[in-house]
Structure 1
Amino acid sequence: MAGANAWQAPFGELGVETANLLLLGTILTLSIFADALANRTRLPRISLLVLVGVGVAMVQQWGLGHDGGQPLGGLTEPLIQVALVMVAFLMGGELTRERLRSTGALIVMVSLGIAAVGITVVGLGLLALGFPLVVAVSLAAISVATDPAEVSETLHETGNKSVRARLLMGVVAIDDLWGILVFGLAMALLSWQLDHDAGTALLMAGWELGGALLLGAAVGLPAAWLTGRLRQGEPTQVEAIALILLLAGLSSWMQVSALLAALLAGALVVNLSVHHRRSFNEIEHIEWPFLVFFFVLSGASLDLHYAGQALGVTVAYVLLRLAGRYLGGLLGVVLARRHGVALPASVGLAMTPQAGIAMGMALLVTERFPDHATLLMSAVVVSTVVFELFAPFFVRRVIR
């Protein structure tokens, strides 16, 4: 009997840490199959990874009866943050002096046109449909944010390096800047309208932007001096990882925009360092596993228990945001034509991906206006999954 008992207990208890490790390994394994399926079917691998995440949510919530939201618990947010910081830093590397001189003004005008039209269409559309002011204004502000990871990865898959592709990268790079500005102003407007402290909301928005610029300079300037002074290989790789982790950790601690800080740091490194390609190359080598976690966790964050309750506002938000992006893109086409650049009429649809930044904004809204928490969070998360699934098709169409 003693021998039988000893044989029956060869495994330890499956604690949270062990379960998280197994889930991380499973996600990476499934990403290999998703990549193979994408190569055979020409489906965007990003969409397949988001579907893997939705499958994880189904197993976790329907199969195991767990609560929805964060399948990896406290690990979810740091993994998403690191992935976004990597993408933003690499996108900052695209903002060289030469490129800014040639397309900088066009990037600003196109991005502003898409953002302004999108806000107007979403906000007025939701109000016209009878949704509460908090919901309409919040979703209008959230609609500005774009997921840089999906646009960047889709462009990388296509291998397209045309002026049109570089313009898209530039627009995405500063799109979240407008998003943060608009979101801060929207929160101040709602606070004023509902007798809350509008001044505090404006100060928070100013710190999120100004603090991000300070952080980006504080990390980017020393990194620009250090890059190239270390020998290539492991020391440079350690430098690149340290840079990303410092930006992710400090931005979270300081409560500033991680995307903006990383974007500025990347721009400083690429413009001030002689051997800037070393750091960017090292980050590109390790970026994909983190992006896998990012896309899968975006799908897995879907709370299936509340998805049905927000069906009406979710459908309205998705359709209005698509319409706003398309109409804003038409304005961008006109502006680009004046600069001698031909853009397709559907260029605004390439700006539909939405992920971590939008969900972060939604969390801030629910903290300030808890009466609308369930409706807003469900609408943003469900629409995020929809946009992440179908946006790669839009980006590829625009590039072609």
Structure 2
Amino acid sequence: MIQSELIISVGVLFTVGLFADQIGRRSKVPRVTLLLACGMLASAFDLVPEQLADLSETATVIALSMVAFLLGGSFKADTLKAHGAAILCISLAIILMTLLLVTSGLFLLGADPALALVLASVATATAPATTLDVIRQSGVSNGFTQTIRGIVAVDDAWGLLAFSICLAVATQMAGSEAELRVSVVHEIGGALILGCLIGLPAVFLTGRIDAGEPLLVEALSVAFLTAGLAVWLGVSFLITGMTAGALVANFARHHRRAFHEIEHIQWPFMIVFFILAGAALDTSSISKLGVLGAVLVVLRIAARLLGGWLGAAVAKVPKPKRGLYGAALLPQAGVAIGMALLAGQALPQWKDQIMGLTIGATVVFEIIGPFATMWALKKSDQV
């Protein structure tokens, strides 16, 4: 039976995305924020069909897999040579500063040390899709944007590693007997291996039918296969996609630009992703944050601003731009929710608190984050 309601809903989503894009261009409001707001309004008035809501998880994997490929493509040898030190120093400094400030701050506020450590590790997560789309909308293209792309690409790898270690430590501290389902070797190592197994053949096989660029069907086939296999094998599809994208970008000499076609088809998937993400946000969770949640939000902002500045100073980035990196990296999205779910499984005694605080903080950063990123991008073009 043809599901007319689902087809109509998708058509409405694309129309909303078109209007959001035009409003964003004229008002300078991040279109990510506009799409999230549309999703929240649709959810408030119960306008999202159940069939469409059921596609949310699939749309997330597809959209973020495309983002991962494009981010991996930014890891070209010349980019790493020019900005590699800044990418490494800033990303590590932000991760470490987040763990230090958030853990110590929540502990001093009275939180259990194990709970504080887990919440800090979840706070390291970023929002690659949001950041990349704001960069694209801003029209800014300079060394700062190249560095931000690189940082966002490696942040999830660092964040997953930090989260896995912190969660293992926290379960020991709490004396939890719950089975720890997070494996650094499996999540990251498996993703790197799978990315190589897909990326290396793609280096030689794609872009041969029409010399110079992979066809749209080629690009989509590789992206979908990567996402599907990663989910099936239980490894990070983000890291898998970034690995494959980086290999194609660096070793496919007959490509002018690796998987440029993905950019042409990515936006419709992103529209569905952001609107459904907005519909899934529980705005009432903001009012439930309380003092602990408010402090968590403030500490994460402070950690990213301070960590970004320190990392940029170590990498000898020009002084006027050092304070912009943390602001550009404020968005937080679905990766944090995924981490919180795993933490709740390992530490069931704090499951509700971990989920409530993470969802509330994520809503806050999804609202203010894109504006901060847009401001930092525009400012970087002026200093």
Partner of 1:398: 376
Question: CA contact under 8 A between 2:313 and 2:319: conserved in structure 1?
Answer: no
Question: In the aligned structure 1, how far is the partner of 2:274 from the partner of 2:113?
Answer: 31
Matching residue's letter, 2:242? L
Matching residue's letter, 2:125? A
Specify which of 133, 137, 149 is matched with residue 153 of structure 1.
Answer: 133
- Unpaired runs of at least 5, structure 2: none
Question: In the aligned structure 2, how far is the partner of 1:375 from the partner of 1:165?
Answer: 36
Partner of 1:280: 259
Partner of 1:140: 120
Question: CA contact under 8 A between 2:213 and 2:258: conserved in structure 1?
Answer: no
Q: List per-residue Cα deviations over 1:319-368 (Å, max 9, x = no partner).
A: 1111111111221231132x667524232121111112111111111222
Question: In the aligned structure 2, how far is the partner of 1:361 from the partner of 1:120?
Answer: 18
Distance 1:377 1:196, change over 3 A: closer
Q: Please give the residue correspondences for 1:115-130 in structure 2 after superposition, counting only pairs within 5 Å.
A: 115-130=95-110
Question: In the aligned structure 2, how far is the partner of 1:209 from the partner of 1:331?
Answer: 27
Q: Secondary structure at the match of 2:95?
A: helix
Partner of 1:258: 237
Q: List per-residue Cα deviations over 1:23-78 (Å, max 9, x = no partner).
A: 33322222222222223322111111111121122123xx89x9xxx984431111
Question: In the aligned structure 2, how far is the partner of 1:128 from the partner of 1:71?
Answer: 46
Q: Report the TM-score when normalising by structure 2.
A: 0.90
Partner of 1:57: 43
Specify which of 13, 16, 21 is matched with residue 35 of structure 1.
Answer: 21
Partner of 2:327: 349
Q: Report the TM-score when normalising by structure 1.
A: 0.87
Distance 1:302 1:133, change over 3 A: farther
Q: Secondary structure at the match of 1:343?
A: helix
Question: In the aligned structure 2, how far is the partner of 1:370 from the partner of 1:51?
Answer: 32
Question: In the aligned structure 2, how far is the partner of 1:252 from the partner of 1:183?
Answer: 19
Q: List per-residue Cα deviations over 1:168-194 (Å, max 9, x = no partner).
A: 111111111110100100111122123
Partner of 2:354: 376
Specify which of 248, 271, 282 is matched with residue 269 of structure 1.
Answer: 248
Matching residue's letter, 1:368? A
Matching residue's letter, 1:53? G
Cα shift at 1:201: 5.3
Question: In the aligned structure 2, how far is the partner of 1:286 from the partner of 1:391?
Answer: 25
Aligned residues: 378
Matching residue's letter, 2:41? G
Partner of 2:276: 297
Q: Secondary structure at the match of 1:146?
A: coil
Partner of 1:223: 202
- Unpaired runs of at least 5, structure 1: 1-11
Distance 1:36 1:153, change over 3 A: same
Sequence identity (%) = 37
CA RMSD of aligned residues (A): 2.6
Bigger drift between 260-269 and 184-193 goes to 184-193
Partner of 2:162: 182
Matching residue's letter, 1:255? G
Distance 1:313 1:25, change over 3 A: farther
Question: In the aligned structure 2, how far is the partner of 1:342 from the partner of 1:336?
Answer: 14
Q: Secondary structure at the match of 2:288?
A: helix
Question: CA contact under 8 A between 1:354 and 1:387: conserved in structure 2?
Answer: yes
Partner of 1:5: none
Larger Rg: 1
